[in-house]
């Protein structure tokens, strides 16, 4: 049955709107960017493809806030933590962003609390627990001695942020997808003009002109992993975030780095994994759950030297002589120096006769540890409140009595093939200067759009910081005229699928791209394959994509996503062609590795376009300089403001 489209038809309606600061993407980073710019007295527009109140990776919640080094209980300094994170990633990291995260993250958490978010145990549910600070009610995860990661009630955050945005007078354009970045050459420099947006309900076009623009549209997805039968379960991050921000930036000449890095699929459904955090495991949200084997025999935790731990508390404690350990988020196998307690590895367990399947057994844990994992963490973590906590509880799961089976051979929620890859685990993205400004004058970036991004605290802190600097930039700037011919052509291209009769569905083209990337840009690469892949992508773009059709503005948005996925895929293949030697830290493997230049390639290879030609430069590791010095040189006003409360 054909249904009537429930929204107004505003196709061919175009409006032009001016603002000081334009924020594209209303997730954690975008909301904080808008708040900072508005606090600085600027007019701010926030453009969000979904509904800001619950959009983005953290829309349904998140359970822990990493690296809040200035909280009153933390024993690790921002400098120590930043350099540890850089070292842990073999210097393929973003120290500028991590320093902002470790230095300002806790300020943002206090902001969140002031807006109505819950960041401490105000009801005293966990009084007496070793992870709860009795004075402040703050609760910690992982390392209970050093207290750098807080347990938070993340499901309360997005609604509180929207209330604050409204209070401050930020103009929110919900259900509006940003499609195109507008720039022009001013005094020889590629410069911000604004962006085009399309209302995904009505089809109305808005041309936003701004003094400065901030990109916070998350990172690419559905590049290698796509399943047309279960599209919403393809990837870990929300379905609507597929890297539009990367695509529009790349088309406009923006510079990226580490785009050659991809990891074998981890968290995803794609038709064959349990929902994240829905299988018994002992990582991240579930750290450090007690695990048992098929016979109910407890699986031992060991310290970094392999010594078996005797108590549950030891799982949360650095070993003697170790200052702190790293856990959570993207930290998988840290170097010896930062390695924390862990269960014995799978191979060793098999050797010692432990039997599959394994289970998480919270009933064997102290009451407060059980309640904080099942009920708080599983409940506040993204996508767990209804699918896991509520559904499992409704069906009778009781963690005081029942055990929860883990998946397959280990405790991950899925296993993947080598060619099924993701941009996960601090992947590539936009490279910026210390003001978080991109190579396009007046265009800033934050959150998951930055290279080597990882988490909520990172997103909020960099978002706010970018908002401050974008506001500063916006002062005394004119509005630049956009190129009308270019904009008209772009609108025509955006609408085209609506007028293509008997065309093909967006899913088919997404699937074709994913297959192309799996075959030609999979786990092991070589020039010949990559070049073939590029040719195939160009063919898909020139032929299949031009036959794509949409029946309404919502499907039209899906078509635009596929266009962006093609752009991002081309950028990824070109980035792979630019690195000639395999690189372990980047999970980059070549059969035709040129090992002679391996040493010379240690550093950041960037990628950008100029007049459609792919360009690149080499940026040395540690280009950020001394973080404390560089930060303090630029942020005296903010430091003063914080000092004065
Ligand atoms: C299931 C899950 C659990 C997680 N748990 C944790 C955790 O416990 N702790 C932690 O620290 N981190 C966690 N993370 C990571 C963390 O949530 C993200 O790193 C963080 O939210 C990124 O913020 P962001 O603003 O950069 O991106 P997002 O919050 O994803 O926001 C991007 C926004 O851009 C919008 N958008 C996309 N394209 C367009 C477009 N073309 N036009 C307009 N808008 C657009 C999207 O709709 C979205 O609202 C989790 C992530 C997921 C997916």
Is residue 455 in contact with ligand 1, taking CB distance under 6 Å? yes
Tens of pLDDT, residue by residue over 609-625, are 999 999 999 999 999 99
Q: Which ligand 1 atom lies nearest to the CA of residue 248?
A: 41
CA of 136 to the centre of ligand 1 (A): 28
Tens of pLDDT, residue by residue over 373-431, are 999 999 999 989 999 999 999 999 999 999 999 875 555 556 788 999 999 889 999 99
pLDDT at residue 112 tops 90? yes
pLDDT at residue 270 tops 60? no
Is residue 29 in contact with ligand 1, taking CB distance under 6 Å? yes
Q: Which ligand 1 atom lies nearest to the CA of residue 238?
A: 53
pLDDT at residue 2 tops 80? no
Is residue 61 in contact with ligand 1, taking CB distance under 6 Å? no
CA of 59 to the centre of ligand 1 (A): 8
CA of 342 to the centre of ligand 1 (A): 28
Is residue 202 in contact with ligand 1, taking CB distance under 6 Å? no
Is residue 382 in contact with ligand 1, taking CB distance under 6 Å? yes
The pLDDT assigned to 164 comes to 98
Q: What is the mean pLDDT of residues 322-350?
A: 89
Which residue's alpha carbon is at the smallest distance from atom 20 of ligand 1?
456
* pTM beyond cutoff 0.85: yes
Q: Are 218 and 568 in contact (CB under 8 A)?
A: no
> Which residues are within 8 A (CB) of 396 and not within 5 positions of it... i.e. 6 or more apart?
none
The pLDDT assigned to 50 comes to 97
Is residue 565 in contact with ligand 1, taking CB distance under 6 Å? no
DSSP 452-484: T---HHHHHHHHHHHHHHHHHHHTT-PPPPP-H
Q: Which ligand 1 atom lies nearest to the CA of residue 447?
A: 26
The pLDDT assigned to 86 comes to 95
Q: What is the mean pLDDT of residues 310-323?
A: 96
Size (the chain), residues: 645
Domain topology for 493-618? Methane Monooxygenase Hydroxylase; Chain G, domain 1 (1.20.58)
Helix (H) or strand (E) holding 608: strand 604-610
CA of 333 to the centre of ligand 1 (A): 24
Tens of pLDDT, residue by residue over 500-558, are 998 999 999 999 999 999 999 999 999 999 999 999 999 999 999 999 999 999 999 99
Q: Which ligand 1 atom lies nearest to the CA of residue 217?
A: 34
Q: Are 160 and 116 in contact (CB under 8 A)?
A: yes
Q: Are 14 and 446 in contact (CB under 8 A)?
A: no
Which residue's alpha carbon is at the smallest distance from atom 7 of ligand 1?
62
Q: Which ligand 1 atom lies nearest to the CA of residue 243?
A: 38
Which residue's alpha carbon is at the smallest distance from atom 5 of ligand 1?
62
Of the candidate ranges 162-171, 333-342, 449-458, the one whose mean pLDDT is the lowest: 333-342
pLDDT at residue 148 tops 80? yes
Percent of the chain with pLDDT over 90: 87
* Range list of H helices, 169-264: 244-251
Reference 66, options 332, 383, 460, 455; nearest CA is: 455
The pLDDT assigned to 331 comes to 79
Cα 582 to its chain centre, rounded Å, is: 25
Q: What is the mean pLDDT of residues 137-159?
A: 98
Is residue 240 in contact with ligand 1, taking CB distance under 6 Å? yes
Is residue 47 in contact with ligand 1, taking CB distance under 6 Å? yes
CA of 121 to the centre of ligand 1 (A): 25
CA of 44 to the centre of ligand 1 (A): 20
- Which tokens belong to 356? 């599959």
Q: What is the mean pLDDT of residues 568-582?
A: 98
Reference 257, options 515, 631, 625, 623; nearest CA is: 623
| φ/ψ of residue 434, rounded to 5 | -70, -15
The pLDDT assigned to 234 comes to 81
Secondary structure of residue 258 in the 3-state scheme: coil
Distance CA 160, CA 470 (A): 23
Sketch the domain layout of the chain as residue ranges: 284-326+336-405, 493-618
Q: Which ligand 1 atom lies nearest to the CA of residue 380?
A: 8
The pLDDT assigned to 281 comes to 86
pLDDT at residue 269 tops 70? no
Q: What is the mean pLDDT of residues 315-332?
A: 90
CA of 218 to the centre of ligand 1 (A): 6
Is residue 27 in contact with ligand 1, taking CB distance under 6 Å? yes
Percent of the chain with pLDDT over 70: 98
Is residue 380 in contact with ligand 1, taking CB distance under 6 Å? no
The pLDDT assigned to 415 comes to 74
CA of 27 to the centre of ligand 1 (A): 6
The pLDDT assigned to 233 comes to 79
Distance CA 433, CA 78 (A): 19
Secondary structure of residue 307 in the 3-state scheme: coil
Q: What is the mean pLDDT of residues 145-156?
A: 98
Tens of pLDDT, residue by residue over 295-304, are 999 999 999 9
The pLDDT assigned to 278 comes to 87
pLDDT at residue 238 tops 80? yes
Q: What is the mean pLDDT of residues 451-465?
A: 97
Burial of 384 (0-12, 13-18, 19+ CB in 10 A): buried
Q: Which ligand 1 atom lies nearest to the CA of residue 241?
A: 37
> Which residues are within 8 A (CB) of 306 and not within 5 positions of it... i.e. 6 or more apart?
none
Q: What is the mean pLDDT of residues 199-207?
A: 98
Q: Which ligand 1 atom lies nearest to the CA of residue 178?
A: 42
Q: Which ligand 1 atom lies nearest to the CA of residue 449?
A: 26
State the chain's mean pLDDT as an integer: 94
Which residue's alpha carbon is at the smallest distance from atom 35 of ligand 1?
25
Q: Are strands 44-47 and 171-173 parallel, antiparallel or unpaired?
A: parallel
CA of 412 to the centre of ligand 1 (A): 22
Q: Are 26 and 48 in contact (CB under 8 A)?
A: yes
DSSP 421-451: EES-SS--EE---TT-B-SSBTEEE-GGGBT
Reference 25, options 37, 14, 33, 17; nearest CA is: 33
CA of 57 to the centre of ligand 1 (A): 3
Q: Tokens 């969140």 belong to which residue?
A: 112
Is residue 151 in contact with ligand 1, taking CB distance under 6 Å? no
pLDDT at residue 499 tops 90? yes
CA of 239 to the centre of ligand 1 (A): 11
Residue 386 DSSP one-character state: I
- Which tokens belong to 444? 């800033």
Q: Which ligand 1 atom lies nearest to the CA of residue 237?
A: 53
Grade residue 235 by pLDDT with cuts at 50, 70 and 90: confident
Distance CA 491, CA 255 (A): 25
The pLDDT assigned to 408 comes to 58
Give the dihedral sign, CA 429/430/432/435.
negative
Q: What is the mean pLDDT of residues 24-43?
A: 98
- Which tokens belong to 600? 């010379």
- Which tokens belong to 209? 């002109």
Q: What is the mean pLDDT of residues 75-93?
A: 96
Is residue 155 in contact with ligand 1, taking CB distance under 6 Å? no
Reference 594, options 578, 608, 605; nearest CA is: 578
Which residue's alpha carbon is at the smallest distance from atom 48 of ligand 1?
56
Distance CA 253, CA 237 (A): 26
Q: Which residue has the higher pLDDT, 233 or 547?
A: 547
Distance CA 250, CA 494 (A): 17
Burial of 250 (0-12, 13-18, 19+ CB in 10 A): buried
Q: Which ligand 1 atom lies nearest to the CA of residue 59?
A: 29
Ligand 1: which of 57, 274, 382 to mutate, judged by most atoms within 8 Å of the beta carbon?
57
Is residue 182 in contact with ligand 1, taking CB distance under 6 Å? no
DSSP 526-592: -HHHHHHHHHHHHHIIIIIGGGB--SSHHHHHHHHHHHHHHHHHHHHHHHHHH--S-BTTTTBEETT
Which residues pair with residue 272 across a beta bridge? none
Q: Which ligand 1 atom lies nearest to the CA of residue 276?
A: 1
> Which residues are within 8 A (CB) of 66 and not within 5 positions of it... i.e. 6 or more apart?
101, 105, 148, 149, 328, 329, 454, 455, 456, 457, 458
Which residue's alpha carbon is at the smallest distance from atom 2 of ligand 1?
382
Q: Which ligand 1 atom lies nearest to the CA of residue 65?
A: 11
Q: Are 609 and 253 in contact (CB under 8 A)?
A: yes
The pLDDT assigned to 268 comes to 64
Tens of pLDDT, residue by residue over 206-225, are 999 999 999 999 999 999 99
């Amino acid at each position: 049955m054909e249904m009537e489209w429930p929204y107004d038809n505003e196709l061919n309606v175009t409006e032009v709107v001016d603002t000081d600061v334009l924020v594209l993407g209303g997730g954690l980073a975008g909301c904080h960017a808008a708040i900072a710019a508005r606090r600085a007295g600027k007019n701010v527009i926030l453009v969000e493809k979904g509904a800001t109140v619950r959009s983005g990776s953290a829309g349904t919640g998140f359970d822990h806030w990493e690296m809040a080094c200035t909280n009153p209980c933390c024993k690790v300094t921002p400098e120590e933590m930043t350099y540890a994170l850089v070292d842990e990633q073999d210097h393929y990291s973003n120290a500028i962003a991590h320093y902002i995260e470790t230095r300002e993250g806790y300020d943002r958490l206090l902001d969140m609390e002031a807006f109505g978010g819950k960041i401490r145990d105000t009801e005293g549910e966990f009084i007496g627990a070793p992870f709860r600070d009795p004075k402040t009610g703050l609760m910690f995860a992982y390392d209970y001695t050093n207290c750098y990661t807080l347990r938070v009630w993340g499901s309360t955050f997005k609604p509180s942020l929207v209330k604050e945005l409204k209070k401050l007078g930020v103009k929110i354009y919900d259900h509006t997808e940003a499609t195109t970045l507008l720039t022009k050459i001013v005094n020889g420099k590629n410069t911000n003009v604004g962006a085009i947006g399309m209302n995904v309900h009505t089809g109305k076009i808005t041309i936003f002109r701004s003094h400065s623009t901030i990109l916070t549209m998350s990172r690419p997805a559905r590049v290698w992993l796509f399943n047309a039968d279960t599209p919403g379960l393809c990837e870990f991050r929300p379905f609507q975030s597929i890297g539009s921000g990367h695509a529009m930036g790349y088309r406009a000449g923006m510079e990226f780095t580490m785009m050659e890095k991809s990891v074998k699929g981890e968290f995803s459904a794609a038709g064959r994994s349990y929902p994240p955090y829905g299988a018994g495991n002992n990582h991240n949200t579930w750290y450090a759950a007690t695990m048992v084997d098929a016979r109910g025999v407890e699986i031992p935790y060991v310290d970094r030297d392999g010594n078996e731990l005797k108590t549950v508390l030891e799982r949360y404690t650095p070993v003697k002589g170790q200052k702190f350990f790293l856990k959570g988020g993207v930290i998988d196998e840290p170097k010896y120096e930062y390695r924390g307690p862990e269960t014995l590895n799978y191979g060793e367990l098999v050797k010692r006769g432990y039997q599959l399947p394994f289970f998480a057994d919270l009933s064997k844990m102290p009451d407060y540890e059980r309640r904080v994992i099942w009920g708080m963490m599983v409940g506040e973590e993204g996508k767990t409140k209804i699918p896991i906590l509520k559904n499992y509880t409704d069906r009778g799961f009781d963690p005081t009595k029942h055990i929860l089976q883990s998946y397959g051979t280990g405790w991950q929620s899925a296993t993947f093939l080598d060619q099924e890859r993701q941009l996960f685990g601090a992947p590539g993205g936009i490279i910026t200067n210390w003001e978080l400004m991109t190579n396009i004058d007046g265009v800033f970036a934050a959150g998951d759009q930055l290279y080597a991004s990882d988490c909520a605290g990172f997103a909020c802190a960099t978002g706010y910081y970018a908002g401050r600097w974008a506001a500063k930039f916006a002062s005394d700037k004119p509005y630049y005229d956009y190129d009308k011919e270019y904009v008209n052509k772009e609108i025509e291209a955006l609408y085209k699928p609506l007028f293509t009769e008997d065309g093909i569905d967006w899913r088919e083209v997404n699937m074709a791209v994913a297959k192309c990337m799996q075959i030609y840009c999979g786990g092991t690469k070589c020039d010949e394959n990559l070049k073939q892949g590029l040719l195939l992508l160009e063919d898909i773009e020139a032929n299949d994509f031009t036959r794509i059709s949409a029946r309404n503005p919502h499907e039209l948005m899906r078509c635009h996503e596929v266009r962006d996925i093609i752009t991002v895929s081309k950028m990824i293949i070109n980035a792979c062609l630019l690195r000639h030697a395999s690189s372990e830290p980047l999970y980059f493997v070549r059969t035709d590795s040129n090992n002679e230049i391996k040493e010379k390639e240690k550093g950041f290879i960037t990628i950008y376009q100029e007049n459609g030609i792919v360009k690149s430069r080499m940026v040395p590791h540690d280009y950020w300089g001394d973080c404390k010095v560089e930060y303090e040189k630029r942020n005296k006003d903010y430091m003063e403001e914080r000092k004065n409360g």
